[in-house]
Amino acid sequence: MNRPAPRSPGELFLAFNRLALQGFGGVLAVAQIELVERRGWLTREEFVELLSASQVMPGPNVVNLALMLGDRWFGWRGALAALGGLIVVPLGIVMALTLAYDRFSAVPHVAGALRGMGAVAAGLVLVTALKLLGTLRGNRLGPWLCAAVAAATFGAIALARWPLAAVIATLGPLACVLAAWKLRR
């Protein structure tokens, strides 16, 4: 299979730096656009698979995703390059903002701009979820079980406000056992 892939840890660093700098209020939506749609390094299915693994392990999802991808292509050097790309420049910006914060936090336009960016960030996450729903088409659980698991997860987190760890600890094993049963048949 001749799919595009990064040629060096340096290219990986630049790719993750670029997507980190576009990610306001969370990087996941941009990561999907950059890695899957723009560069073609991953299929949507592979992205969902990596995201699943990132989610059940401790640590920030995007950081885990960067580490696993970097490691897959270039071993620990790739993992460090991806992680560095993700945090080095943004860390500089966050610290600059921290130093400037005291001077500008009272300006109402600044607070308004932050709200506007927050609304767009919410829209970006929702769109990413909608796009990735298509990857469930080939899922061996079948459409009804997929819909049931996704809806139960959404309800538990968004409506019932269960803690994430509790949701993953209960629905996760259940979904995996169902999947194992379907895969065996």
Partner 1 sequence: MNALAWPELLALTGHFMLLSLLAVGGAITTASDMHRYVVAEHGWISDAQFTSSIAIAQAAPGPNVLFVAVIGWNVAGLPGLIATLAGTLMPSTLLVLAVSRWAAQRRESLGVRAFATGMAPLTLGLLLATGWVLAEPFVRAPDQRLGALALIAVTAVTMLKTKTSPIWLVALGAVVGALGGL
State which residue, 5 or 110, has the beta carbon closest to partner 1. 110
Task: Candidates 5, 7, 10, 119: give the one binding partner 1 (CB under 8 A).
Answer: 119
State both tokens at 6: 């990064």
- Count of positions on this chain that bind partner 1 (CB under 8 A): 105
Q: To 5 degrees, how large is the angle CA 175–CA 176–CA 177? A: 95
In the complex, minimum distance from the CB of residue 91 to partner 1, in angstroms, rounded to a whole number: 6
- Is 179 one of the binding residues for partner 1 (CB under 8 A)? yes
When binding is defined by CB under 8 A, the residue of 3, 7, 43, 126 that contacts partner 1 is: 126
Q: Pick from 36, 62, 73, 81: which binds partner 1 (CB under 8 A)?
A: 62
In terms of CB distance, is 6 or 87 closer to partner 1?
87
Contact between 127 and partner 1 per CB under 8 A: yes
Q: Please identify, using beta-carbon distances, which residue of 11 and 89 lies nearer to partner 1.
A: 89
CB distance 23 to 128 below 8 Å? no
Among 103, 106, 184, 185, binds partner 1 (CB under 8 A): 184
Q: Tell me the C-alpha distance between 68 and 54, whole Å.
A: 8
Instruction: State yes or no: residue 55 binds partner 1 (CB under 8 A).
Output: yes
Give the HSE-up count for residue 154: Cα atoms under 13 Å, Cβ half-sphere: 8
1, 52, 98, 145 from 56: Cα distances, Å = 29, 7, 31, 20
Burial letters 52-62, b for 16+ CB under 10 A, else e: eebeeeeeebb
- Identify which of residues 5 and 122 has a Cβ nearer to partner 1 in the complex: 122
